[in-house]
Amino acid sequence: MKFDERQPGKVRIDDNKIAGLSIDELTISNLQKLISKREISVPELTKDMLDRIEKLDSMLGCYINVIGEQAMERAKEVQEKLDRGEINSPLAGIPMALKDNICTDGIPTTCGSKMLADFVPPYDAHVVKRLYDNGAILLGKVNMDEFAMGSSTETSYYKKTINPWDPERVPGGSSGGSAAAVAAGEAVYSLGSDTGGSIRNPASFCGCVGLKPTYGLVSRYGLIAYASSFDQIGPITRNVTDCALVLNAIAGHDPMDLTSSKKEHPDYTKALVNDVKGLKIGIPREFMDENGNGMEKSVKDAVLNAVRVFLELGAECIEVSIPALEYVVPMYYIIALAEASSNLARYDGIRYGYRTPDYKNLEELCKRSRSEGFGKEVKRRILLGTYVLSSGYYDEYYKKALKSRMVLIQQFKAAFEKCDIIIGPVTPTTAYRIGEKIDDPLKMYMEDVFTAPANIAGLPAMSIPCGVDMKSLPIGLQLIGRPFDESTILRAAYTFETHTVEGWKNG
Partner 1 sequence: MEGKTRELIEHLAELAKLHLDEKEKDELTVEISKIIAYFDKLKRLDISGIEATEYLNILNINGPLSEKDLRADVVSESYEREKLLTRPEERETGYYIVPGVLE
Site string for partner 1, 200-239 (x = CB under 8 A): ---------------xx------------x----------
User: Total residues contacting partner 1 (rule CB under 8 A)?
Assistant: 62
CA pair distance 304, 288, nearest whole angstrom: 9
Is residue 219 annotated as part of the catalytic site, yes or no? no
Please report whether residue 327 would count as binding partner 1 according to CB under 8 A.
yes
Please report whether residue 262 would count as binding partner 1 according to CB under 8 A.
yes
Please report whether residue 334 would count as binding partner 1 according to CB under 8 A.
yes
Please report whether residue 128 would count as binding partner 1 according to CB under 8 A.
no
Please report whether residue 395 would count as binding partner 1 according to CB under 8 A.
no
- Contact criterion met (CB below 8 Å) for 113 and 378: yes
Distance of CA 416 to the CA centre of its chain: 24
Beta bridge partners of 463: 210, 478
Distance of CA 423 to the CA centre of its chain: 18
CA pair distance 180, 491, nearest whole angstrom: 25
Beginning with the edge strand found earlier in the chain, give each strand of the sheet holding 232-237 in spatial order: 63-66, 137-142, 95-99, 189-194, 232-237, 209-212, 461-468, 474-481, 421-425, 280-284, 316-320
Please report whether residue 59 would count as binding partner 1 according to CB under 8 A.
no
Query: Among residues 156, 198, 219, 341, which one is catalytic?
Result: 198
Angle between helices 376-389 and 328-343 (to 10 degrees): 100
Please report whether residue 414 would count as binding partner 1 according to CB under 8 A.
no
Please report whether residue 412 would count as binding partner 1 according to CB under 8 A.
no
Determine the interface stretch with partner 1 among 63-71, 127-135, 239-247, 378-386 (rule: CB under 8 A). Answer: 378-386
DSSP state at residue 314: T
For partner 1, give the closer residue by CB, 3 or 359.
359
Please give the angle made by the CA atoms of 45, 178 and 445, to the nearest 5 degrees. Answer: 170
Is residue 174 annotated as part of the catalytic site, yes or no? yes
Among residues 165, 221, 268, 333, the one that binds partner 1 under rule CB under 8 A: 333
Determine the interface stretch with partner 1 among 20-28, 58-66, 189-197, 373-381 (rule: CB under 8 A). Answer: 373-381
Which of 297, 8, 60, 56 lies closest to 168, judged by CA? Answer: 60
Terminal-to-terminal C-alpha distance of the chain: 19
- Contact criterion met (CB below 8 Å) for 203 and 209: yes
Is residue 41 annotated as part of the catalytic site, yes or no? no
Q: How far is the CB of 259 from partner 1 (least distance, A)?
A: 5
Determine the interface stretch with partner 1 among 9-17, 107-115, 205-213, 370-378 (rule: CB under 8 A). Answer: 370-378
Catalog residues that contact partner 1 under the rule CB under 8 A.
118, 120, 122-123, 215-216, 229, 255, 258-262, 324, 327, 329-331, 333-334, 341, 345, 348, 350-352, 359-363, 365-368, 370-371, 374, 379-380, 382-384, 386-388, 390, 396-397, 400-407, 409, 441-442, 445, 458
Q: What is the set of active-site residues?
A: 99, 174, 198
